[in-house]
Amino acid sequence: MRAATAAATNAVVAIWVELVPPIAVGAVGVPVSAGDASGAEVVSRVFVPEAGVDEDSVTGSAHAIIAAYWAARLGRNSFTAFQASRRGGHVGVTLEGDRAMLTGTARTVIEGEFIIG
């Protein structure tokens, strides 16, 4: 079952021009999503301009946030998503209780260490 039409997909892809320049959201990101008609079941984008990230390439945490909404909307616990950033990427999403399980191919963009205590 597809949740929306190509028009909804195009609206999410086109949102950059309309949303990002005037936005002031602090350190909180703005995920946007819609049903997708181009292969994945959900298309998304994530903007965090106040944190220096105009648009995140592919965001696992955003897909974890939207997992419950889309699982309910689609009527099942698993779906495929595509984050329509410049680099773009596919994410498999499965809602298991209060957790979202994500699958896909990852790209390391930063490494570091935490020293606790």
Q: In this predicted model, which residue has the larger pLDDT, 53 or 14?
A: 53
The DSSP secondary-structure symbol of 15 reads H
The 10 Å Cβ neighbour count of residue 50 is 14
In a domain, residue 14? The reply is yes
Specify if 86 maps to a domain: yes
Task: State the CATH number of the domain containing residue 14.
Answer: 3.10.310.10
Residue 117 lies inside a defined structural domain of this protein = no
Residue 32: domain span: 6-103
Residue 24 resides in a domain:
yes
What are the structure tokens assigned to 24, written together?
A: 């002031």
Mean per-residue pLDDT for 37-51?
75
Q: What is the pLDDT of residue 116?
A: 92
Q: How many domains does the chain have?
A: 1
78 contacts 5 by C-beta, under 8 angstroms: no
User: pLDDT band at 112, cuts 50/70/90?
Assistant: very high
Buried-exposed string 96-111: b where 16+ CB fall within 10 A, e elsewhere: eeeebebebeeeeeee
